Amino acid sequence: MRHPAILKTMHLFFGASLLIASRLTAEETCCKNGPCENKQAETNYGLTGDWGGYRSKLKDRGLELTANYTGEIFGNPTGGKKHGVVFDGLLKLALDINLEKTAGITDATFRVSGLYPHGTSGSLRNVGDVSLFSNLDTFDSYRLVDLWVEQKLSEGKLSLRVGQMRVDDEFGVTDSAALFINSTFGVPNPPSTPMPLGSYPLGALGVRFRFEPVEGFYGLLGIYDGNPSAGDFGGHAKRHGTDWALRSSEGALYAGELGLQRSTGTYPGAIRIGFLHHTMDFQDVRSNSPDTVHNSSTSTYYVIDQTFWRSSKDSKRGASVFVRGTFAERKTATMSTTTQLGAVYTGLLGTEDKLGVALARNTFSPGQTSFGSESLAELSYQIPVTSFMRVQPDVQYIARPGGTNQYQNAWVLGVRAVLDF
């Protein structure tokens, strides 16, 4: 069944993106051959600039305000539950305070941040995929996310962070995979594992300890509130990120990670291994043990992220690859494993544009679905239109949405724009 309106809309999105890319290429050539006329001056800040110098003065005094807005339109012209187009948006606000400058506390920082996600879930309404094709996809609500203090010791070799924070800000980070829009490439946990944790859009009360005894080798340990936002997953986002009750019935989340990381040099990269262990009660998901309850659930993960080519040591132009796998207990997780791999090339048309391709396979625990897995491929291209705006056309192919034969394989097409204020 054809849907000409949807196809026409998608053609307009991608046509506009290609037009932007071609104009950027022409501008890049112009600047290489001589000064560019009418080119907007670059700024270290976003769309709103330096506020007449006031923003720089605040930063010099240890106060840094940031804000950005992400908007996207995605549609599935073929496959899924039904065809349609949806809009999603996300407003981010943050304040970072250097406590050494503001209060004389050496090597200490404070952060507070909030989110306003809004829009329609295209996965729930149209496609039926468990992985969630957009990492903006969540319930609508104004939310406090970060509210923490961090103290570094021994010249940064040790640090302690206390307060409300996101687990996925530090654990299982895959720098190359950050380009991609599908949620599978985000939090280091199988998407369908019923393990509450402080990941987008939630922050959780916790304590995190980081140590780096020698440069490049580090460890992370953290303990967090077992249910950071009670009631929200039932559709009642009443607490807006301020559910600070520590209930014994909700258990606790323990997280740990060891890694080797090279952030400088010609070929930066990282190898990470980690675990998440939750101590609340979990219902057995297997059909032969529906009344069995387990008092914990554990998942593990690994990350390999490596730059393998760069045009020069100080150049942004280069290529990287990543591989990541996650594993969860079959008795407590409807989805037991995920495997992801991809490659990203920076500098195709300009100095900072990024082209990436990634594949993922999400495997369900035995007996959960008829086919046992949901697979996807994503092709994405991020174009910096100005110093404060990026446009990202994106194509995804999702095979066996939901891991069943109920829905046809789906093409998901769309475009995302990110605006820094």
What confidence score (pLDDT) does residue 265 get? 77
Q: Which pTM was predicted?
A: 0.87
The tens-digit pLDDT sequence of the chain (421 residues) is 444 545 454 455 445 554 554 544 444 444 444 444 444 334 578 999 999 999 999 999 999 999 999 999 999 999 999 999 999 999 999 999 999 999 999 999 999 999 999 999 999 999 999 989 999 998 888 999 999 999 999 999 999 999 999 999 999 999 999 999 999 998 777 766 778 888 999 899 999 999 999 999 999 999 999 988 765 544 445 568 888 888 888 899 999 999 999 987 779 999 999 999 999 988 888 766 667 889 999 999 999 999 999 988 778 899 999 999 999 998 888 888 999 999 999 999 888 999 999 999 999 888 676 668 899 999 999 999 999 999 999 999 999 998 888 899 999 999 999 999 9
Question: Is the domain covering 4-33+54-420 a CATH 3.40.190.10 domain?
Answer: no
What confidence score (pLDDT) does residue 32 get? 43
CB atoms within 10 A of CB 115: 23
CB 230 within 8 A of CB 250: yes
- Placement of tokens 């625990």 in the chain: 365
CB 270 within 8 A of CB 302: no
- Host H or E run for residue 336: strand 335-346
- Host H or E run for residue 25: helix 4-33
What confidence score (pLDDT) does residue 1 get? 41
Q: Which residues contact 275 (CB under 8 A, 6 or more apart)?
A: 254, 255, 256, 257, 298, 299, 300, 301
Question: What are the contacts of 57-60 at 24+ separation with CB within 8 A?
Answer: 60/101
DSSP letter for each residue of 41-63: PP-SS-TTTTTTTHHHHHHHTTE
CB 177 within 8 A of CB 380: no
